[in-house]
Amino acid sequence: MNPVDQAVISQALLSAAREMGIALYRSAYSSVVRDGKDASTGILDADGNAVAQSDELIPMLVGSLSITFRSCAARYPIAKLREGDFYICNHPYHGAHHLQDILIFVPIFFEGKIVAFSAAVAHHLDIGGGAPGLNSSSTDYFQEGLVIPPSRYNLADDWNDDGPLRHFIGANIRVPEATLGDIDSQFAACAVGAARVHEMCRKYGAATVTEAMGEMIAYVERRVRASIAAIPDGTYVGEDALDDDGLSEAPLPIKATVTVRGDSLTVDFTGTCPQVKSHMNAPFASTVSATLACIKSVLSGEDVPFNEGASRAVTVIAPEGCLLNPRPPAPVRARMEASYRAYDAVLKALGQAMPDRAIACGYDTTTGFCLSYLQDGRYRVFLELRDGGYGASADGDGCDAVAGPLSNCTNTPIEQIDADYDFFRIEHYRLRPGTGGAGRQRGGLGSSRGYRILADGVRLAIYADRFRIAAGGLAGGGPGALGFCHVHRGDEVIEVRSKADVSLRKGDIIVLASGGGGGHGDPALRGRAAIAADEAQGYV
């Protein structure tokens, strides 16, 4: 193929995927998608292989698009799709991560033939289940929300004009205007992707665009395999652990054995603890996504997109019944914590194989923080995903108070929260000095945010981690600080566990603090200029 056409079409596809993401979050209704950008978009080829994905959105979500698509196509063959049809699924044991993530795939027809699919996934504010927004006490995934198995529907017949599917979903959730509005935004994003693919097909021809998609996937596979081949053959082991499962105080160990043979790499999670009764389990699709995201970030640069090619050089194994591949109907709502520890375990193993690129672990935790309030028969649900400090490398300090490497969500502006919610307000939002691990390069800082409750009957649900086991340092660096959650009620300070459900009173102040990343290198070797800059900024 003409290399110039290949380059232009490849970048056009990547641009289309990014434009889809912008269309999604700019038209979204909920703060978690509109402001937090907890969503992702992409373009798949006619067989459902991921080609181009929105790299500025959620790495964790883009890694499983093809897995979910294959579950849908296995039940409803691609050959039987007609214009206006779409696949939809949120089933955690059929490729989706948890029920809150609804995936939609829309076939793109050109001259009567499917040439590609546009895809959009978003985390929804409420999807029903046993509690608003977040059911911390679920014992199976049925209690976590409405289950949408791999399905095929038609936009005109089943969704538009309050069609039966739209009506059915709206009747099973507490905030239908937000959830249905966000699904509409997903369809809008998919329409943008279809329009861009049509433009390319009209300009270059469908056969040329199809060939370019295939070469994009092959290019990524070649680049990833070349990076793997540069690693010395051998077996490398990394381990990490979750604080607990929310029911006991026993840590949950995760073990990753990385084996490199030539240009192929295998990650085996044998030795990871068994699945648990709480919602801390991670379905296998999440484990695959976390593993690929880690390998991609360590082995390649920004010039290599994340698509199907990355998975073709990597094999991921997790024994059935373990925390990273649970048997249904195990609950999985808080699967990000186990996924992050899988990421950290792989990161440590790769650090042994490539010491010059080793990075200390960060806070690497999704803090799911949900406040809900029922007033006059109407639910109000606020959901926020908080930040933390990154681990330091040999070349630089860890980033301060940003979303973890699997998340990439943005913080919700205080002004937007004040405009949307009147049953609480933000009292403070600031960095936590001294929370980054000490080192020649320091770990990133965590942050603290205070929420004053303005009404009785507000409910707090939280899942988090690293309240008990800190992010460790590397090469002599110190650990990052732990996170915590406290409720200040008058003169009383109530400690909230990292996985909890708490009834609140008017006047309570919740202080939610994220921890820091690990440091890198001997702290005694930190330069005077860096120390002076930290002191001037108030970081220490």
In DSSP terms, 104 is beta-bridged to 88, 120
Flag whether 307 is in a domain: no
The residue from 175, 204, 222 where one domain ends is 222
In DSSP terms, 448 is beta-bridged to 430, 513
Cα dist. 62→58, 283, 350, 352 in Å?
7, 15, 22, 27
pLDDT number for residue 412:
87
Helices (H), 230-362: 284-299, 308-312, 335-353
Structure tokens at 33: 């998608």
**Residue 506 or 411, more confident:** 506
In order, the DSSP letters of 240-308 are EEES--SSSS--EEEEEEEEEETTEEEEE-TTPPBP-SSTT---HHHHHHHHHHHHHHHH--TTS--SH
The residue from 207, 222, 237 where one domain ends is 222
d(CA 448, CA 445): 10
Flag whether 26 is in a domain: yes
* CB burial of residue 1 (10 Å; 0-12, 13-18, 19+): exposed
Q: What percent of the chain has pLDDT over 70?
A: 99
Number of domains forming the structure of the chain? 2
Residues 216, 364: one domain? no
Flag whether 283 is in a domain: no
pLDDT category of residue 292 using cuts at 50, 70 and 90: very high
Flag whether 329 is in a domain: no
Average pLDDT over residues 531-540: 96
pLDDT category of residue 530 using cuts at 50, 70 and 90: very high
Flag whether 470 is in a domain: yes
pLDDT number for residue 303:
84
pTM of this prediction?
0.96
Flag whether 327 is in a domain: no
d(CA 453, CA 426): 9
For 399-417, write each residue's pLDDT tens digit.
999 999 998 888 889 999 9
Flag whether 352 is in a domain: no
Flag whether 203 is in a domain: yes
In order, the DSSP letters of 412-481 are PPHHHHHHH-SSEEEEEEEE-TT-SPPSSBPPPP-EEEEEEE-STT-EEEEE---SSSPPP-BTTPPPPP
For 73-106, write each residue's pLDDT tens digit.
999 999 999 999 999 999 999 999 999 999 999 9
Phi first, then psi: give them for residue 89, nearest 5 degrees.
-165, 145
Residue 42 lies in domain? 3-222
For 220-249, write each residue's pLDDT tens digit.
999 999 999 999 999 999 999 999 999 999
The residue from 159, 193, 222 where one domain ends is 222
Average pLDDT over residues 449-457: 98
